[in-house]
């Protein structure tokens, strides 16, 4: 069994969609970044790559590469799963925390969880997904950004 950890943060601001785990969430602000800035997918990809002893997502999908401008991060997640398969690994379970002051994410959690399970090829009960606020403290608490943390375990196919 291999374990990996991932973290990501993106800035919140006007003029962008707010996409978490592939789900577009209605909000007056969105996440800024080179890709679609899906922090959940990004933290998860880094955890998966880390568990397999591979390089970080910036190495595979550089934010200087126009190919990844506004990229669908859930599509990139599926490419990471393929990379792992080539290495002989598959996800065993994942656990994610989203740190977001607003909007309230509770109504969107089932859709996010379903997207993650589908991309990972895991049953819903192997996908942990939680959201918390930052208690109005710091940059997340002021609504300037959203962060995500991921822990994964991988199994070897061999």
Distances (CA, A) of 48 to 30, 76, 81: 25, 12, 8
Among 18, 19, 23, 42, binds Mg ion (CB under 5 A): 42
Burial of 49-83, coded b for 16+ CB within 10 Å and e otherwise, reads bbbbebeebeeebeeeeeebeebebbebbbebbeb
Q: Which stretch binds Mg ion (CB under 5 A): 1-9, 12-20, 106-114, 148-156?
A: 1-9
Q: Please identify which residue in 6, 8, 74, 84 interacts with Mg ion, judged by CB under 5 A.
A: 8
Q: Is residue 105 within 8 Å of residue 72, measured between CB atoms? A: no
Beta-bridge partner residues of 130? 97
Size of the site for Mg ion (CB under 5 A): 2
Q: Report how far Cα 144 is from the mean position of its chain's Cα atoms.
A: 18
Q: Which CB atom, from 31 or from 151, has the smaller least distance to Mg ion?
A: 31
CB of 42 to Mg ion, least distance (A): 4
Q: Provide the minimum distance between the beta carbon of 62 and Mg ion in the complex, in angstroms, as a whole number.
A: 12
Site stretch for Mg ion (CB under 5 A), options 40-48, 80-88, 110-118, 149-157: 40-48
**CB-nearer residue toward Mg ion: 8 or 101:** 8
Query: Which residues of the shown chain bind Mg ion in the complex (CB under 5 A)?
Result: 8, 42
């Amino acid at each position: 069994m291999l374990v990996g950890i991932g973290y990501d943060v993106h800035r919140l601001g006007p003029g962008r969609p707010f996409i978490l785990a592939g789900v577009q969430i209605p909000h007056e602000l969105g996440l800024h970044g080179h890709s679609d800035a899906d922090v959940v997918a990004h933290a998860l990809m880094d955890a998966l790559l880390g568990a397999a002893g591979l390089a970080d997502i910036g190495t595979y999908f550089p934010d200087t590469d126009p190919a990844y401008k506004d990229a669908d991060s859930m599509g990139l997640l599926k490419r990471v799963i393929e990379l792992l398969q080539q290495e002989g690994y598959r996800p065993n379970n994942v656990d994610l925390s989203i740190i977001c002051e607003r909007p309230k994410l509770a109504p969107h959690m089932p859709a996010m969880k379903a997207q993650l399970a589908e991309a990972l090829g895991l049953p819903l009960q192997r996908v942990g997904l939680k959201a918390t606020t930052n208690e109005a403290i710091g940059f997340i608490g002021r609504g300037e950004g959203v962060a995500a943390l991921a822990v994964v375990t991988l199994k070897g196919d061999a």
